[in-house]
Amino acid sequence: MSRQIKLSPALLPDSPSLLARRWVRLSLLGMILIVIAVAVFVAETIFARSTITIDVNGNVREVRTDARTVQEALQDADILIDEADRVTPPLQTRVNDNMTITITKAHQLVLEMGGDVRRVYTHSSDPLVILTEQGIQLGSKDVLYVDHRLYQPDQSLSKTPPRYLQVIRAKNYTLIDGEHEQPLYGQSVSHTVGEVLEENGVTLYLADQISPSPNTSLTDGLAIVITRSTPVQISVDGQQLRTRAIGATVHDVLNMLGFPLLGFDYTIPAEDTPFSPDMEIQVIRVIEDFEVEQAPIPFEVVMVSAEDLGPDEQRIIQEGVPGVQEIRVRVRRENDQIVSRVVQETWTVVDPIPQIVAYGGTPPQ
C-alpha cells in the first residue's frame, strides 16, 4: 500500500518565497563585504601615512605622506629634483616612518671655453674639480678665470661655489728671430703677435721687420718671423746718418730708408754692391742743366791807303764795334759743386763792325 506525502509550495526549490529569501541573504552579505573593504582601506590609509623629514641643503621640514617611494614623497612635497642633485636614500627606496630624506642641490654655473658657453651643474666649489667633472684638463700655459678674476693655483679656495668659469687655451707658436740660430717654440694666451713678442722680452729696432705684423691676432700654430736690421752709415744731402737697415744691395737700403737715387745720382760704393753690416754709403746727387752765356766777337781792322796822309800817319775812318755771340754750356754739379762745363753750341747774335784805318805811305806792319 503506497503512502503519499504532500509538500508545501513554499518549500519547493523554485518557489518565489525561497528565491526571495536567498536574494536578501546575498545582498546582505555583499553589503557586509563592502563595509569591511572600506574599513580596511580607511584603516590602511590612516595607518599607512608615514612621517618623514626632508632636508634640502640644510633646510629641514617634516611632512606626512602616503607615498610609497622617496621619489613619490618628493613629488607630493612639490620638490623638484634635477639630474645632478644628490638624493639620499635613492629615489626608488620605499618610504618608511621616521625616514630622513637628504637632498643636496647641485650648484649651477656658466662655463666658457673657446667661444663655447654652456651651463653646468656641480657639487664642488673647487674650480679645478669642476673642470675635471666636465672632462677638462688645464695645460701648463692655459689660463682660468673664476668669476672674471685670474685663478692662481696657490690661492685659498672659497666655500662659495663660483658662478662663472672661463678657460683660455694657450696657442702654439714658433718664433724665428734673426738674432738666434734656433727657432723658439712656445705657447701663449696672448691675443696678438705684439703681445707674444713682449711676453718673450724681444727688443725691436725701428727698421726690423716682423711677419705677420704685431697687431695680427695670434692663432694656433702661427709662425712669427723677425728679420733683423743691421747698422749702416750714410752720407746724403749734406747730412751724416747712423741708422739701421735691411736690404740685399746698397740700392735696396737707400730705398728702404727713403733716399732713392734720381736721374744721374750715383753712390760710393756702387748701388749694386751687396749690403753688409756697418757699411758706409755715400750718395752723390747729380744735377745737369744748360746755361747760355754771351761773349764778345772781336772786330777786324781794315787798313786803307790815304794820299793826303804823310808817311807814318793814320786816321780812323770807322770805329770798330765788337760783335756778340751766345754759347750754350752743359753744366754738371755733384752735391752742389760744379765738376764740369761742356760747350754744346755757339751762335752769333750781333755781327762785329770792322774798324777802318787810313794810313799814309807804306802800310803799317
Question: Given the DSSP bridges, would you call strands 100-104 and 50-56 parallel, antiparallel or unpaired?
Answer: parallel
* pLDDT for res 43: 47
Per DSSP, the residues of 122-141 read ES---HHHHHHHTT----TT
C-alpha cell at 117: 658657453
Contact call for residues 278 and 233 (beta carbons, < 8 A): yes
DSSP 120: E
C-alpha cell at 24: 536578501
Q: Which of 106, 97, 101, 90 is nearest to 60 (CA)?
A: 101
> By CB neighbour count within 10 A (0-12 exposed, 13-18 middle, 19+ buried), where does 279 fall?
middle
C-alpha cell at 243: 741708422
Distance between CA 255 and CA 249 in Å, rounded?
10
Question: Given the DSSP bridges, would you call strands 239-245 and 230-236 parallel, antiparallel or unpaired?
Answer: antiparallel
Print pLDDT tens along the chain (365 aa).
445 544 445 444 555 665 666 666 777 777 777 767 665 554 455 445 788 888 888 888 888 888 889 888 888 888 888 888 889 899 889 988 888 899 888 889 999 998 899 999 998 889 999 999 999 999 989 999 999 999 988 877 777 889 999 999 999 999 999 888 899 999 999 999 999 999 999 999 999 999 999 999 999 999 999 999 999 999 999 899 999 999 999 999 999 999 999 999 999 999 999 999 999 999 999 999 999 999 999 999 999 988 888 888 889 999 999 999 999 999 999 999 999 999 999 999 999 999 999 988 766 66
* pLDDT for res 120: 92
Distance between CA 185 and CA 194 in Å, rounded?
16
* pLDDT for res 168: 93
Place of cell 675635471: 132
* pLDDT for res 31: 78
CA dihedral 209, 213, 219, 222 (to 10 degrees): -20
> Would you tell me how many other CB atoms lie within 10 Å of the CB of residue 232?
25
C-alpha cell at 325: 755771340
> Side chain identity at 84, as an amino acid letter?
A
Cross-strand pairs, 315: 358
Per DSSP, the residues of 47-106 read HH-EEEEEEETTEEEEEEE--SBHHHHHHHTT----TT-EEES-TTSBP-TT-EEEEEPP
* pLDDT for res 1: 44
Q: Which of 325, 312, 314 is nearest to 352 (CA)?
A: 325
Contact call for residues 272 and 282 (beta carbons, < 8 A): no
Distance between CA 27 and CA 17 in Å, rounded?
16
Distance between CA 283 and CA 265 in Å, rounded?
7
DSSP 9: G
Contact call for residues 255 and 245 (beta carbons, < 8 A): no
Q: Which of 174, 252, 251 is nearest to 211 (CA)?
A: 174
C-alpha cell at 172: 702654439
> Side chain identity at 181, as an amino acid letter?
E
Which domains does the chain show, CATH number per domain? 50-103 (3.10.20), 107-168 (3.10.20), 171-227 (3.10.20.30), 230-284 (3.10.20), 288-359 (2.20.230.10)
> Would you tell me how many other CB atoms lie within 10 Å of the CB of residue 134?
15
Distance between CA 170 and CA 183 in Å, rounded?
19
Distance between CA 220 and CA 11 in Å, rounded?
108
Question: Given the DSSP bridges, would you call strands 116-122 and 171-177 parallel, antiparallel or unpaired?
Answer: unpaired
In the three-class reduction of DSSP (H, G, I as helix; E, B as strand; rest coil), residue 271 is classed as coil
Contact call for residues 356 and 316 (beta carbons, < 8 A): yes
DSSP 68: S
